[in-house]
Structure 1
Amino acid sequence: MTDANALDEAALAPYLEEHVPGFRGLKAIRKFNSGQSNPTYLLEAASGRYVLRAKPPGELLKSAHQVDREFRVMTALRKTAVPVPEMLHLASEDSPIGRMFYVMAFVDGRIFWDPALPELASNEERAAVSDAMNRVLAALHDVNVEAAGLSDFGKPGSYFERQLSRWTSQYRASETEKLPDMDRLIEWLEKHLVADDGLVSLVHGDYRLDNMIFAADRAEVAAVLDWELSTLGHPYADIAYQCMQWRLPHKSGFRGLAGIDRKALGLPTEEEYIVTYCQRRGIDGIDNWVFYLAFSFFRLAAICQGVYKRALDGNASNPEKARTYGEAVKLLSGLAARLIDEGR
């Protein structure tokens, strides 16, 4: 590898043998091409397979790419009903690669990239995968953060107010052109900000199908990945974000479910998925749904804008793909504008 994300194998090998329990004989490093935030690598060694996840190189936005937070939350969740890989080592900024990274155990299994699940043979299998996602999401939001040692993992209360401020600032910092739909969406969210209802839970921040590894032989989540955006927040942010993703065009880079007959595939409707989640958590329903969806569109658009700006600056994890994210911002803000106009 010759790009900015390449790792110095000669410098890394002795460090890993010293700091990762049982690690020996680094044979190869392969960068995963998926993901646009923290570059992630498969390490093949005589002692087995491992995964290394690092901060990207170059100048980074403040509060972004905090791999130490990922390491901490997954370490804590190992003792809960939320499946995560085993964390093995966290390296500081003065590591052999010159940036912070962590090493975790490799989890074998299946990753589904298309929410329509075309590789599964039956509607029953597709329904089971969807239900497994729902079950783990409810379990995540039921985690006792104090018992898990995460009571200081974020600021409790006023989650959407703080998140709106944070992502507006990050969007403005990475803005490359004026987009009327984004400006209108930000204004609408500020005007319709929901009152704080006191609900606080651990939230994933990017909860979607392809951030999970499923067992090879059954519809069971073996591990939830990519916890970079996790924090103490509002549980409805996670479920709205997941449902928002499914509203995206199926043929787009986001692989949504818009235009897909979910019933014909055995997949639940948005309403059915929400009802099942609420039943699992013992709640009656979710009010202000349009706000939560609109916020989810906005936050994802702000994230995509940051990826696009990093591509222009030359330090994106997957530069070629990252350059397409500028158009994604327009798609997301346009869909959000239609949502707030139609109210559903």
Structure 2
Amino acid sequence: MSELPGMDTPALRKFLSESGVEVSGELRVELISGGRSNLTFKAFDDTSAWVVRRPPTSGLTPSAHDMAREWAVTNALQITEVPVAKTVAFDAEGVVLGAPTTIVEFDPGRVIRTRADLDDLSDADIAANTTELIRVLALLHSVDFEAVGLGSFGKPDGFVGRQVRTWARQWESVKTRDLADVDRLRDKLHAAIPSRSASSIVHGDYRVDNVILTEGDTSSIAAVVDWEMSTLGDPLTDVALMCVYRQPIFDDVLGVSAAWTSDRYPSADELAQLYSQASGVELTDWNFYVALANFKLGVIGEGITHRALAGSDTGSGAAAAAEATHEFMAAGLRAIEGKN
């Protein structure tokens, strides 16, 4: 049987053994997800299972596939109440699979990804799921990052300004054509950067399909996953991105009818208020954060198409993901101009 792209099963088995992990019987590997972000595999033997994550094989968006970042934060959060998978091993140099790779224990719980995954859930289930999502995000933002050894994990001072500049540079790296709305929104964001902001650990990609629910219980999160965009920064960037992900056009970026864009979940405004109530944090300069989140998603959609054109993404609708870019930029302009 041929290897999956980006995987070398014999090398992975050797690395697990050298990391003190006993492999019982044949090691098998299945692809869980790939193409949109980091490649995610399930590796398993006769008794145990692990999740193996590494960057895509080509067409990388700079800074968007940082496995060292993912490893650092999940390892540090082991001693907190934030639910994360148990860390197992990290190949920082990319010796095993040709790129930096993280390995954590596999959790058998449920992931809600698509609209169809909601079919067997009642409205009460979804309400309980929403409450838990908000609770865990607020819990993450309340972690004392200095106390868990993440004081040098990022530079929270000036974070939102750097975010604007970073995503503007990302656009120049991945754009497949010029769009006037991108330049307009970038300039308006530069002009509206808040003078002060809070600091916390931020996940950078928080929504329902980036958590694993406890098996049989939609009101309990067993593990938050996909931490490669995490850093120290302004918690409202996390909240705004979670809310902006609710737009139906996000389906074009994911290439599926996403659960998180379903109208069965609360609206973006309702989610923001739920977070404010759970965390006790005021949504100051909220229109700026919503505009920035739209800017990011427009660039992300463009990047997916950029990678598809480079030949690294064969997922559903990848080549068309950039079609959502204009709508995200337009939504960002409406937000920052107070027209929402």
TM-score normalised according to structure 2 size: 0.90
Distance 1:95 1:235, change over 3 A: same
Matched, 1:287 2:287: no
1:4 Cα deviation (Å)?
7.8
Q: Could you report, residue by residue, the CA deviation over 1:28-65 in whole angstroms, capped at 9, with x for unpaired residues?
A: 21112356111110112123111100122246454332
Match of 1:278 in 2: 276
Match of 1:125 in 2: 125
Give me the CA root mean square deviation: 2.5
**Residues in 2 aligned to 1:292 and 1:150: alpha-carbon distance in whole angstroms:** 24
Match of 2:40 in 1: 40
Match of 1:239 in 2: 239
1:244-283 alignment to 2 at 5 Å? 244-249=244-249, 252=252, 254=254, 255=258, 260=263, 265=264, 267-283=265-281
1:235 Cα deviation (Å)?
0.6
Distance 1:123 1:319, change over 3 A: closer
Whether the 8 Å contact between 2:111 and 2:211 is mirrored in structure 1 is yes
> Which residue, 299, 310, 313 being the options, matches 2:310?
313
**Residues in 1 aligned to 2:50 and 2:170: alpha-carbon distance in whole angstroms:** 32
SS at match of 2:24: coil
**Residues in 2 aligned to 1:107 and 1:342: alpha-carbon distance in whole angstroms:** 43
Q: What is the one-letter code of the residue matched to 1:336?
A: G
Match of 2:215 in 1: 216
Matched, 1:336 2:336: no
Q: What is the one-letter code of the residue matched to 2:299?
A: A
1:328 Cα deviation (Å)?
2.4
Distance 1:20 1:42, change over 3 A: farther
> Which residue, 313, 318, 322 being the options, matches 2:318?
322
**Residues in 2 aligned to 1:26 and 1:72: alpha-carbon distance in whole angstroms:** 30
1:90 Cα deviation (Å)?
0.4
Matched, 1:142 2:138: no
1:226 Cα deviation (Å)?
0.3
**Residues in 1 aligned to 2:13 and 2:44: alpha-carbon distance in whole angstroms:** 11
Unaligned runs of 5+ in 1: none
Distance 1:331 1:116, change over 3 A: farther
**Residues in 2 aligned to 1:30 and 1:211: alpha-carbon distance in whole angstroms:** 19
SS at match of 1:89: strand
Match of 1:200 in 2: 199
Q: Could you report, residue by residue, the CA deviation over 1:8-34 in whole angstroms, capped at 9, with x for unpaired residues?
A: 223332232222523333432111235
**Residues in 1 aligned to 2:224 and 2:300: alpha-carbon distance in whole angstroms:** 20
> Which residue, 291, 301, 305 being the options, matches 1:304?
301
Whether the 8 Å contact between 1:156 and 1:200 is mirrored in structure 2 is yes
Distance 1:257 1:105, change over 3 A: closer
* Higher mean C-alpha displacement, 56-65 vs 75-84: 56-65
Whether the 8 Å contact between 2:209 and 2:260 is mirrored in structure 1 is no
Q: What is the one-letter code of the residue matched to 2:190?
A: E
Unaligned runs of 5+ in 2: none
Q: Could you report, residue by residue, the CA deviation over 1:117-145 in whole angstroms, capped at 9, with x for unpaired residues?
A: 63244221111000000000100000010
Whether the 8 Å contact between 1:213 and 1:223 is mirrored in structure 2 is yes
Identical-residue share of aligned pairs (%): 32
Whether the 8 Å contact between 1:211 and 1:226 is mirrored in structure 2 is yes
**Residues in 1 aligned to 2:26 and 2:17: alpha-carbon distance in whole angstroms:** 8
1:165-204 alignment to 2 at 5 Å? 165-197=165-197, 199-204=198-203
